[in-house]
Amino acid sequence: MEQIFNKKKAFTVFELLLVACIVFMLVGIFLAYANTTLAVAREVSLRNELGNIRMAVEHYKIVNGEYPQELKDLYKEYLPDKATVNILSGQVYLKPFRVSQDQELLDPYRNLYCYDNTLGRVWSSTIGFEGW
């Protein structure tokens, strides 16, 4: 009868290792999912930002008759006033998303956007996204 009441109430080393392995596996699965989700979010953000920059470049060309010399011109120059083009004054062509210390536009991967001012073409310098 004494053996029934004399049971151990502590975990064994094997049980603790098993629980630790299960926790580490769950953390690993979560981290893989989080990295995948972050990569997809950056791609979507890059696609949206490229679209916005390209529209701002085309808008600049329509208003000024030529492409901007640099991408900096899109967020440093203001639209013409209302009397000339029927557009609200005091607005820039593009609000910058991320800017480097040199005042250059950065993509979601923190790389520079590339710009060809003769064709008005904008693309990312991030490896794998050059053709977008």
* Dihedral (Cα; 79, 80, 84, 88), 10-degree rounding: 50
Q: Can you tell me which residue has the tokens 């901007």?
A: 68
**Most confident among 52-61, 80-89, 94-103, 122-131 (mean pLDDT):** 52-61
pLDDT digits (tens, 9 = 90+) for 68-120: 999 988 888 877 765 555 545 567 888 888 888 988 999 999 999 999 989 98
Under 8 Å between Cβ of 86 and 94: no
Question: Which range among 31-40, 45-54, 77-86 shows the weakest confidence by mean pLDDT?
Answer: 77-86
Q: What's the pTM value of the predicted model, to 2 decimals? A: 0.72
CA 79, 83, 85, 87 dihedral sign is positive
The single-letter DSSP state of residue 10 is S
Looking at residue 11, what is its pLDDT?
76
Looking at residue 61, what is its pLDDT?
92
pLDDT exceeds 90 at position 19: yes
Q: What 3 state SS string does 67-114 have?
A: CCCCCHHHHHCECCCHHHHCCCCCCECCCCCCECCCCCEECCCCCEEE
Under 8 Å between Cβ of 108 and 48: no
Average pLDDT on 60-71 reads 90
pLDDT exceeds 70 at position 7: no
Q: What percentage of residues in the chain have a pLDDT greater than 90? A: 46
